[in-house]
Every structure is written in structure tokens, then in C-alpha cells.
Amino acid sequence: MFATTRFLRSSKYRLFSSLSLKAVAKPKTALTDPFLLTEPTEPFMNPLETSTSVSASIKDHISKYQDARPFMLIAGKSLIINLFCYPQSKGCYLADADGNKYLDLHAQISSVALGYNHPAILNACKSDEMVIALANRPCLGLLPPTNWPEILEASHMRVAPKGLTNIFNTTCGSSANEIAFKTAFIGYKKFHGIPDTISEEELATCQDNIAPGSPELAVLSFRNGFHGRTMSTLSATRTKPIYKAGIPAFPWPAVDFPKLRYPLDRFEQENYDEENRCLDLVKAAIETNPIPIAAMIVEPILSEGGDLHASDRFFQELRRITKEHNVVMIVDEVQTGVGATGKFWAHEHWNLDSPPDIVTFSKKMQAAGLFYSDELRPLVPMRNFNTWMGDQPRSLIAKAILDEIEESNLIALVNSTGKYLISHLKPISIRYGRVVKNVRGKGTFIAFDCPNQEIRDLMVMLLKAEGVLINASGSNSVRFRPPLILTKTHINAFLPRFESILNKIYKQFWPQ
């Protein structure tokens, strides 16, 4: 038996299997965490960088084989990152091939939980168990290894959302949602009190992709929602049309997600009415859509759509409506999950009476999949299936991340750092009200709007030139998606650079 397996079976492991994360320590700060003490103290832009940079030549090399156009640009030049050089890419700082060090508030599209080269993850990678898991990739759904139940319990099941006792492991967020849709379709008969059997006629007609074997069933989604780019998830994705154009789609409906006005306390009644308008649209879609709606999918915060929030009451009502109509409620926590909103799962903020039927995850868990209720476990085996069904090494990394979140009480840190950031952004949005609007967020999952796309894009570009990587989203929003280890020290490195570029934008657009 390998060392880590023995470790998993030790008394410490039994603590993990309590299916919840326990806060055991005061959150570390940049001054008390030995790891953060070794980070760069602030962004560094290499003054010696030349126009014939290392990044440019690596980009040219990659572009012989792959489309390099989406690569992140800084002043028109691709940013090629250097993850290997420990002292350089560390914690919340990302080094590039040309010796620059960026404060990374983008974190690989919100998917870095503990920053770069975190010792908890590096140590997990050095275990015997990891080496064997990397060297031998089993079909987890067919021939699972002996330690698979322990790994599941020490990683994903330990944070299973309340009421969801089943897990299906996938490889990315899109495939998690893809399987969630299939799970809802397979469960449709059961949810609607129809005998859960498959007739000879269904078996024959599904081969020709026609009803009743291939029934007409729909997933309801929200405008500005993003759920992935595979064939079915793309049909539920409603952000940029360029993702969808030219690709066949299911004829599934979408309804408006509330567009709240800020500050929330000033527009309480308008926002209440706006949410009711959208709830009426949901009800009408479920009751009148020509194709029966099997599932509704929603992000707790519409992230790619520009960080659109709604009240807890809105989501409670969505749950009530879906329950009333036997529609499977899928909460897409691919981006919001794993602590960034100040709770482990963002939907915990809602205090639902009855949990969602399915919760999908990926990104900061570093392993993807879905949690689902017993009711949705298919009657016949292998209806949802694939070769690998997840990836053992990624689940071991998830375990290391969850250990560190628990041991260093990172969710408390997210809450205090998030409050600190908001407490500075709000006065900035008064001082620079023409460009920083509608500051909003939970935990460090924070965003604001710019007056238009031109100023937003300029802001993101100027911040990069100052050594800060940040994300544009929606048509005119800027979003913070840092690792969970972000501290006030990082915010203190960000703020003067932010004010400096705001002054530049003011000078350019409103010179006096």
C-alpha cells in the first residue's frame, strides 16, 4: 500500500469524511504565511525587455501548430508565461518569458485556487500515489483502483452540496454541464411520474434520432448565461454570438436574467419588479414552451455575461418554480464554486429550503464533475459513461486544495480581502465615477462596469502594462477572479496602479 493511501486511511482522513470543510485556523496574512512571504512584493515590468522578446519567438513557434491569436496581449505583444521558475511565478504573481511579473487577478480564467507553485500542491504531486496515478490512468467508471472511494471522500464528496450524494466526474466545465443535461433528460420520466422504462419503440426510434426514442425535451437557460461550448451546452450559452454562429443548436428557450440597478438600496423597488418580471418569464417558458422543459440551468452570478447578480429571493423563487413544475434545477458553479464568493458554494448564500437537483463544478477544484440527487441516479447503468470518467491525479490535487482551504481558513480570508477591496473600490467609484460604476461582489468575486467597451478594454490593457492581469467580461465589465490566497497586501499593490491608470483614462477622455 502506498504512503498516501495509508495517510488517507489515517485518523486525519476520518475527519475529512465529515462531508464539510472545517475552519481550523485564523486566516494567514501576507506577513504570516511563509509561502506568501516568498512572493514578489509587487508587480515588476522588466525595463530591459526588447522588441525581439522571448515571448514573441515562442508565440511564433506555437503558431506553427496552433491558433495563437487568442493569446493574452499586452501592448500588442503576446504574454507567454513562465511557470517553471519558482521564485518568479509564485502565489498571486505570474512571471512571463521576458522577466515581467504580474499581479494575477485573472488566474487562468478563474481556475487557480492557491496561486502558482503552492507547496500544498507541489507536495501532493510528489507523493507515490500521485506518481502511480499519473503513470496508470484507469477507466474510473469500469475498473476503479482500490483507493478510489477514499480519494472521492477525501476530495469531492467532502464538499458535496447538501442533499446531493452522488457524483459524476468529468474533464471540464462544459462536459460537467453536458452530463448534467443528460442526467436531467434521463430522469425526466421519473420526475414526471411516468413509468421509468424504455420501450422497444423508443429503442428503435432513437437510432434514427426521432421521437419517442429521441424525445423533444429542452433546457431553459438565461440570456447572458455561459455554460460551455460543447454541442449541447452551447445551446444553453447566451453570451457572445460568435461562439454560436454557424453551429447547429437545439431549439431551447432562453429568458432574461434580471439587470439590477446600483446602488441596490436606492433601487430596491425597481430591482424587485425587474426580478419579478424575469420570474414571470421563467414561469411562462415552463408552462407554454412547445417543447417540454426538463431542466433549467443557472449560474449563481452570470460571470462571462458581466457578473450579473440577483437577490437570494430570486433564486429561492426559481427553486420554488422548478419544484412546482418538476423541472430539474441545475446550478452551474463551474466559476463560482470553491470559495471565491465567500462560501464554499455560491448557492449556499441563498438558504434554499430544498437543494438544487444538480450542481456542476470545475475550475478552482482543478477537477470537474457534477453532484446530483439520488432521485436522478439512472435506473439502467452506463447511460452516462465515458472512458476515463474524471482523472485521479486531478482529484488528488483537489484534495490538496481542500486541505489547504480548510487548514488555512481561506474562505475567511476571501471574505476579509473581498471586504477590503470593496471598501476601496466604492470610494474610487465616487472619485472616478465616469469610468468605475456599479461596484458589486461577494467574497473576492467582485466586478464593476465601465461606461462602454472602448474604455473597459483600454483599462484592462493599461492595467496589464502596469503589471496587473485582470479580466474583461460582458460588454463593459471588469471582473476580479484572483486565487483564494489573495490578501490585503496584494490589494495594496493593485490600488495605486489602478488609480494611476484611471488618471490616464480621465486625461485622455476628459482633458481640461
Ligand X SMILES: Cc1ncc(COP(=O)(O)O)c(C=O)c1O
Footprint of ligand X (CB under 6 A): 109, 172-174, 177, 226-228, 299, 303-304, 332, 334-335, 362
Residue (of 37, 169, 138, 18) closest to 90 by Cα position: 37
Return the number of the residue (174 or 487) whose C-beta is nearest ligand X.
174
Cβ–Cβ under 8 Å, residues 360 and 150: no
The answer to whether the beta carbons of residues 418 and 443 sit under 8 Å apart is yes
Whole-number Å distance between alpha carbons of 41 and 119: 19
Q: Which of 59, 101, 343, 363 is catalytic?
A: 363
State how far the Cα of 263 lies from the Cα of 503, in Å rounded to an integer: 24
CB-closest chain residue to ligand X:
173
Least gap, CB of 301 to ligand X (angstroms) = 9
Q: List C-alpha distances in Å: 126 to 33, 115, 305.
A: 22, 18, 39
CB of 192 to ligand X, least distance (A): 27
Indicate which residue of 98, 104, 332, 357 is catalytic.
332
- Three-state SS at 120: helix
337 vs 504: CA distance, rounded Å: 36
CB burial readout 56-77, b (16+ within 10 A) else e: bebbeeeeeeeeeeebeebeeb
Indicate the residue among 221 and 487 with the shorter CB distance to ligand X.
221
Q: Are 30 and 36 in contact (CB under 8 A)?
A: yes
165 in active site: no
Pick 15 or 109: Cβ nearer ligand X = 109
CB of 148 to ligand X, least distance (A): 23
Spell out the residues 6+ positions from residue 252 whose beta carbon is closer than 8 angstroms to its own.
218, 219, 220, 221, 235, 236, 291
What is the smallest separation between the CB atom of 297 and ligand X, expressed in angstroms?
9
CB of 329 to ligand X, least distance (A): 15
| 147 vs 384, beta carbon nearer ligand X | 384
Nearest CB to ligand X, comparing residues 97 and 255: 255
Distance CA 58, CA 63 (A): 9
Q: What is the closest distance, in whole angstroms, from the C-beta atom of residue 223 to ligand X in the complex?
A: 14
273 has catalytic annotation? no
26 is catalytic: no
Instruction: Considering the candidates 35, 168, 185, 226, report the single residue annotated as catalytic.
Output: 226
Q: How far apart are the first and last CA of the chain?
A: 73
Between 232 and 335, CB nearer to ligand X: 335
**Whether residue 28 lies in the annotated active site:** no
Burial of 18 (0-12, 13-18, 19+ CB in 10 A): exposed
Catalytic residues: 226, 332, 363, 387
